[in-house]
Amino acid sequence: MLLPPAYKRLLIKFIGIITGALYGTLMRVVFNIPSKTENFSFSDLFSITFIWIVPLVIGITPMLFATRKQLSSILYRVLTPISSVLLFFIICLATRIEDVICILIITAPFMLCAAIGGVFFGKYVLNYRKRNGVMYSVFFIPIIAGIIEAQYISPSQTFTIHTSTIVRADPSIIWANIVRVNKIRKEEYNNGFFNFAGIPRPLYAQLNKDTLGGIRTGHFEEGLIFKETVNQWHRNQRVSFNIAVVPSSVRNTVFDKHVLTGAHFEFLNASYEIQRLGSNECRLHLTSSYKLNTKINSYASLWGNLMLSDFQNRLLDVIKNRCDKQ
């Protein structure tokens, strides 16, 4: 069936943006395919190739369909690649191959690299437009880069987040509120941006015995559970836990499956320390550590640190408000 002239003109006008978005969607699927075997390996979503090179090609794609006049405009070479990325995000959310939090994490590199692709490569397109083999070979760059990058071992790095707050209460009262956490009411917990983006808030924590080796079970919204084993126990002073997610409790979301059950992110431990400042005033410290095993640890840790700091500060606020009232 032939398209009406009006639709045909519309398609021609936006064909570059649409093609760039569809290419990005295809790469999202390809890089999510498990492809590590004895004789062959390929990069995944937690790679330099997917985070930085794929959006570069998405940005170049609309330039292949642009006119000379369009390519002469810097504004066009910036906005059109960004439009492709935005359409790619919409497709990912509509098809549920990405969550809001995942889109949030990749927004900056995708927007930046797509714009770079348009601005710095767009002006060269006309010079090579007649050489189709050269022009369209750009689509294979992420595939080649993905194969090469997979040959290098991903570095493991440990990151530690520390937060604290002043609590006007006796150490024994603070201790009782940190080793076990009674159910947190909605009005007690101030949801932040990450909670609205899909990160579950804590609900309560149970401890089976007050000693080393005790199991503390942390419950979160939507059934997510963490098993926390006590490895340090100094009553009214310091308690520390090894942390592991309960696999059967992991939510059926893209973020949880990639982060909590994948091989790239691992919670290690968390500790509370009560530092007495005065007769009825203490500083409560909350420190946690996690490990990343990706080729983009520097970028991934920015988000890991932000999310964990946000979580710890909000949890400390709950504990502080409860203790101050006792």
Please report, for the chain, the start and end positions of each structural domain, with discontinuous segments joined by +: 5-149, 156-324
pLDDT at site 133? 55
Burial class (CB in 10 A: 0-12, 13-18, 19+), 152: exposed
Instruction: Scan for tokens 């395919």, then name that residue.
Output: 33
Give pLDDT, residue 318. Answer: 96
Q: What is the pLDDT along the chain (326 residues), one digit of tens a residue?
A: 455 665 555 666 789 999 999 999 999 999 998 766 666 789 999 999 999 999 999 999 999 888 888 888 899 999 999 999 999 999 999 999 999 999 999 999 999 999 999 998 887 776 666 555 567 788 999 999 999 999 999 999 999 999 999 999 999 999 999 999 999 999 999 998 999 988 999 999 999 999 999 999 999 999 999 999 999 999 999 999 999 999 999 988 888 888 888 789 999 999 999 999 988 899 999 999 999 999 999 999 999 999 999 999 999 999 999 998 76
pLDDT for the residue 123: 75
Amino acid 6: pLDDT: 59
pLDDT of res. 124 = 78
CATH topology of domain 156-324: Alpha-D-Glucose-1,6-Bisphosphate; Chain A, domain 4 (3.30.530)
Does pTM top 0.85 for this prediction? Answer: yes
